[in-house]
Structure 1
Amino acid sequence: MNTVALGELVLTNAKIVLADRVFEGSVRVDGGMITDISESTRTGIDLEGDYLIPGLVELHTDHLETHYAPRPKVRWNPVAAVQAHDAQIAASGITTVLDAIRIGLDEQTDIGAADMRTLAAAIGAGSKAGRLRADHHIHLRCEVSAPDCLESFEAMMDDPQVRLASLMDHAPGQRQFASVDAYKVYYQGKTKMNDAELDAFSVRRNAQSYAHSGPNRRAIAQMCHDRGIVLASHDDATRDHVEEAVALGLHIAEFPTTIEAAKASRQAGMSILMGGPNVVRGGSHSGNVSARALAEADLLDILSSDYIPFSMLQSAFSLADNVEGISLSKAIQLVTKRPAEAAGFDDRGEIAVGKRADFVHLRVEDGIPIVLTVWRQGKRVI
């Protein structure tokens, strides 16, 4: 889908959500950029008093993989998978997305490094051809405990689409799975291993973590610094985890699992990212800290869709409705301005003169934000 802007666009009679306030008025666009914001009504597309917010900026979505590998040993055409993913992303109000590509695999998945390169190529081809609704980039999810992590990272690190890398370790008994019981429920539900098989698997995973996690963290962090790739920690649970992340020059704290880690991340100046599903569901599926609790403690900077694209928008409105001190403007920043700034996008993420004309037109029905129209760089994509 060609996203080259076409002339002037005026959107009027809208509740316009700025970074610091909401007011009724109009926005003018020329050449894909916002050129005027006014409290007056002008001749243009009448939004009938609905909301106009900036296009959402998504830093961590695992959703593409479910389109490409919907069942074990099943592979969908990668171009079709990217197109389907893109359509769902855009329909959720997301105009900029960092698609998560896994780097470093464990024995319980049949998705390999070659699959990831295939998906990255399909994303690039779709962007180059102008047939994607959202602006796609790549986030490398680096499982640093995996034996093949460094080799897989090196195969992807010079792809110009790569914008962000996160360093993660899902070995049992720490970080996301500090609760071994939660680890057991998750992995046995996912893989159908019996107790003996899971015990053996856990021993292997812990041995791999001990051998590879530290060296891979250090090596990948240095290569990211050399290439200007933004770095994120993942599932930090303790102050020691955060101090390690800070020492390696990481700037985003993805999904801290405890209030202790979130507080340490804030003190270190890191941006704290949590999942929209955590907000919508009212808690973590792994039994970790609630995103809503972090929001109430002013320890939340960014919301990500994680595994449900629409959860970004839904969680932002939920926080604005239910958490004292979080206005709609502040909640929308969590899915627009704050992630844009964290990923180094200085041309988008808010409705302001001189910024890209990435917009979402929506109304709220029965407490749910309903996406009606989406524009990217002034051109309608939904």
Structure 2
Amino acid sequence: MSAPHLTITGAQVLRPDGMSDAPVGVADGVIADRGEGAVVNMPGCTVLPGMVDIHGDGFERHLAPRRGAMTDMGVGLAAVEAELAANGITTAMLAQFWSWEGGLRSPDFALRFLEALNAYQGFGTDMRAQLRFETHMLDDYTALHETVARFGVGQVVFNDHLPHDALNKGKRPPRLTGQALKSGRNPDAHLAMMQGLHARGAEVPDAVAALAARLGAAGVILGSHDDALPETREWWRARGVTLSEFPETEEAAHAARAGDDGIVLGGPNVMRGNSHAGKVSARHLIGLGLCDALASDYFYPAPLRAAQIMAVEIGLERAWALVSDGPARLLGLPDRGRIALGLRADLVVLDRAGRVCLTMAGGRITHANGAGAAALLAARY
């Protein structure tokens, strides 16, 4: 189905050179001059570039709501797309674990997810896969590399969620029983598995370096997760891992900026005013210029709300860039993130109260609330 032609008038439009009340046209899926098609009048509204979510795992609840409930993952992906669109997100990296944690974070589930995403025919939102790979899964390195190549995965983030402190002390990690049951293992077997992974820690650095080199040579964008120390960030950068997701300290964020690495922070952290885990405040880092992109993390409404919060402190243009142009640049997607002629027609329209009333992705309408639908009907769209 071809994308429609329309022109939005009467609204304020955020363009690269600032706000403008000039109409914005859409033709054949890209931003165009005012032209043929419906004229959608939206007085009092603000038209902004569609949001690019560089990291979000909020889709998990749609794909695995309860055990046995999801027999067709495509149904879950349709629900994911609907939520993304309702929150003004037009491009989304779905952050799927490849983890020893099992369950919906297991390699088997990751493969099912990638198969379903590859087959999914949506209504416009650009949904892509990010794989979050647990570094101590040494026996999975070949399978991970083959999976990335098979499905054309464009982003891999290295994680390490093993409870090393407890394992070093020979203690049972907290929440062991609950984690084990979610993974389908008994607690003793789950603990033994973690202990085995932990024991091979000395092998991890060389294995990671080799895998990162192979993935980087194939053009895969690589990131590290929860950098706590400057030395950690520098270690990753030396291996071609140039995105720092959710640095835990100001020092690690400064190290990322000094090395010209991309810095991704969490929208929920901005909403809360601090990290739920007691780490550095995203608002503080943004104020220091130590952020390139805000992500939904685990809550799809977060990018919009975080941008609105930060707009009060740093202005709408800078704040909105953190959820549009900034993440688009980090992902190597120069065709989106801004409202300019010839770029993808990824747009979000906010009403006077700052609510999403219309979302367009690639020129297709993916969401319209009451006010947005009324404007479309009035235009005889």
Q: Is the Cα–Cα contact under 8 Å of residues 143 and 149 in structure 1 kept in the other structure?
A: no
Report SS of the residue matched to 1:159: helix
Pairing partner for 2:240 from 246, 249, 255? 249
Matched, 1:267 2:265: no
In structure 1, what is the equivalent of residue 150 of structure 2? 159
Percent identity at matched positions?
A: 31
In structure 2, what is the equivalent of residue 371 of structure 1? 356
Q: Deviations over 1:192-251 (max 9, x none)?
A: 99xx98x96797277256145313421321121121111111111111111111101122
The amino acid that maps onto 1:150 is Y
In structure 2, what is the equivalent of residue 52 of structure 1? 47
In structure 2, what is the equivalent of residue 123 of structure 1? 117
Q: Is the Cα–Cα contact under 8 Å of residues 162 and 194 in structure 2 kept in the other structure?
A: no
The amino acid that maps onto 1:124 is N
Q: Is the Cα–Cα contact under 8 Å of residues 225 and 245 in structure 2 kept in the other structure?
A: yes
In structure 2, what is the equivalent of residue 354 of structure 1? 342
Report SS of the residue matched to 2:96: strand
Note the 1:1-382 alignment, pairs <5 A: 4-6=2-4, 8-36=5-33, 44-71=39-66, 75-106=70-101, 109=103, 111-127=105-121, 131-172=122-163, 204=195, 207-208=198-199, 210-321=201-312, 323=313, 326-365=314-353, 369-382=354-367
The amino acid that maps onto 2:324 is T
The amino acid that maps onto 1:121 is E
The amino acid that maps onto 1:123 is L
Gaps of 5+ in 2: 368-381
The amino acid that maps onto 2:362 is Q
Using the TM superposition, give the Cα deviation of residue 372 of structure 1 relative to its aligned residue in structure 2, in angstroms.
0.6
Q: Deviations over 1:297-352 (max 9, x none)?
A: 1111100001101101110111112x2xx110111110110111110101111001
Report SS of the residue matched to 1:70: coil
Q: Deviations over 1:43-102 (max 9, x none)?
A: 821111201011111111112222222346764521111111111111111111111121
Residues in 1 aligned to 2:293 and 2:176: alpha-carbon distance in whole angstroms = 28
The amino acid that maps onto 1:17 is L
Question: Does the C-alpha gap of structure 1 residues 305 and 111 become closer, same or farther in structure 2, counting only changes over 3 Å?
Answer: closer
The amino acid that maps onto 2:148 is M
Using the TM superposition, give the Cα deviation of residue 285 of structure 1 relative to its aligned residue in structure 2, in angstroms.
1.4
* Aligned-CA RMSD value: 3.0
Q: Is the Cα–Cα contact under 8 Å of residues 60 and 104 in structure 2 kept in the other structure?
A: no
Using the TM superposition, give the Cα deviation of residue 151 of structure 1 relative to its aligned residue in structure 2, in angstroms.
3.9
Q: Structure 1 runs of 4+ off > 3 angstroms?
A: 71-76, 183-193, 199-203
Residues in 1 aligned to 2:149 and 2:105: alpha-carbon distance in whole angstroms = 21
Q: Is the Cα–Cα contact under 8 Å of residues 100 and 134 in structure 2 kept in the other structure?
A: yes
Using the TM superposition, give the Cα deviation of residue 132 of structure 1 relative to its aligned residue in structure 2, in angstroms.
3.7
Residues in 1 aligned to 2:352 and 2:179: alpha-carbon distance in whole angstroms = 35
Gaps of 5+ in 1: none
What TM-score does the superposition give when structure 2 sets the normalisation length? 0.85
Question: Does the C-alpha gap of structure 1 residues 37 and 148 become closer, same or farther in structure 2, counting only changes over 3 Å?
Answer: farther
Residues in 1 aligned to 2:92 and 2:228: alpha-carbon distance in whole angstroms = 27
Q: Is the Cα–Cα contact under 8 Å of residues 95 and 358 in structure 1 kept in the other structure?
A: yes
Matched pairs, number? 358
Q: Is the Cα–Cα contact under 8 Å of residues 245 and 263 in structure 2 kept in the other structure?
A: yes
Q: Which shows bigger deviation, 24-33 or 54-63?
A: 24-33
Using the TM superposition, give the Cα deviation of residue 24 of structure 1 relative to its aligned residue in structure 2, in angstroms.
2.1
Question: Does the C-alpha gap of structure 1 residues 242 and 300 become closer, same or farther in structure 2, counting only changes over 3 Å?
Answer: same
